[in-house]
């Protein structure tokens, strides 16, 4: 009888603990540009979202997608700030249920030659478009956006069509590549390029 009560108490505590535990699911993300038909990925990272049970895993991924969108929109809105926005700060799965992003490093915003620190989101777009995709280009049109991928809940249903970003940041961003080259931006080496 004593063993039955002890076993029941242990099973009860495990069940309560499991019910209180949160599930975490993630989506991959890439901030990308399309310049005159050519694609370049600027950054890749991940969003994480939580939910109360495995049965709600798609809700976790939708929360992860929302965290990615919040990070990317804010990064674009503050593209000249040369720092990682708070919405993009890495989080943790322990002690919190707040969705977060991870894998996008502060050094991706604000790299620079010496103390100039002229490399921000805007710089990254211009650098990729003019120095890699169109090294001899003049004025070119660039689309800026982000795509998410993963299981159900990671992609926006409206963006599944071919050639569309999940999250469009700018559909007609004009870049003067000659000016970018004249500033010496194409001589700067970046990680991953």
List pLDDT tens digits, range 67-103. Answer: 889 988 998 998 887 777 888 877 766 666 677 777 6
- Bridge partners, residue 167, by sequence: 146
Q: Would you call 12 helix, strand, or coil by DSSP?
A: helix
160-175 pLDDT tens trace:
444 578 888 899 999 9
Residue 139 predicted with pLDDT over 90: yes
Q: Would you call 121 helix, strand, or coil by DSSP?
A: helix
HSE of 13, CA atoms in CB hemisphere, 13 A:
5
Tokens 């992003």, residue?
101
Where exactly are the structural domains of the chain?
23-187
Q: What is the pTM of this model?
A: 0.74
Q: Choose among 42, 16, 6, 33: nearest CA to 171.
A: 33
- Bridge partners, residue 170, by sequence: 144
């Amino acid at each position: 009888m004593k063993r039955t009560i002890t076993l029941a108490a242990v099973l009860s505590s495990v069940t309560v603990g499991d019910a209180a535990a949160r599930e975490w699911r993630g989506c991959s993300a890439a901030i990308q540009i399309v310049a005159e038909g050519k694609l370049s990925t600027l950054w890749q990272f991940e969003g994480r979202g939580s939910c109360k049970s495995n049965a709600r895993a798609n809700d976790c991924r939708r929360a992860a997608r929302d965290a990615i969108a919040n990070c990317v929109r804010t990064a674009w809105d503050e593209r000249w700030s040369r720092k990682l926005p708070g919405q993009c700060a890495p989080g943790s799965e322990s002690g919190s249920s707040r969705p977060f992003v991870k894998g996008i490093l502060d050094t991706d915003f604000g790299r620079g030659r010496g103390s100039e620190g002229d490399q921000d989101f805007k710089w990254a777009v211009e650098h990729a478009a003019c120095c890699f995709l169109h090294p001899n280009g003049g004025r070119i049109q660039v689309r800026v956006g982000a795509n998410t991928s993963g299981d159900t809940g990671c992609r926006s249903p409206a963006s599944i069509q071919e050639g569309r970003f999940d999250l469009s940041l700018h559909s007609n961003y004009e870049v003067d590549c000659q000016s970018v080259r004249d500033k010496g931006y194409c001589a700067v080496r970046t990680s991953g390029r």
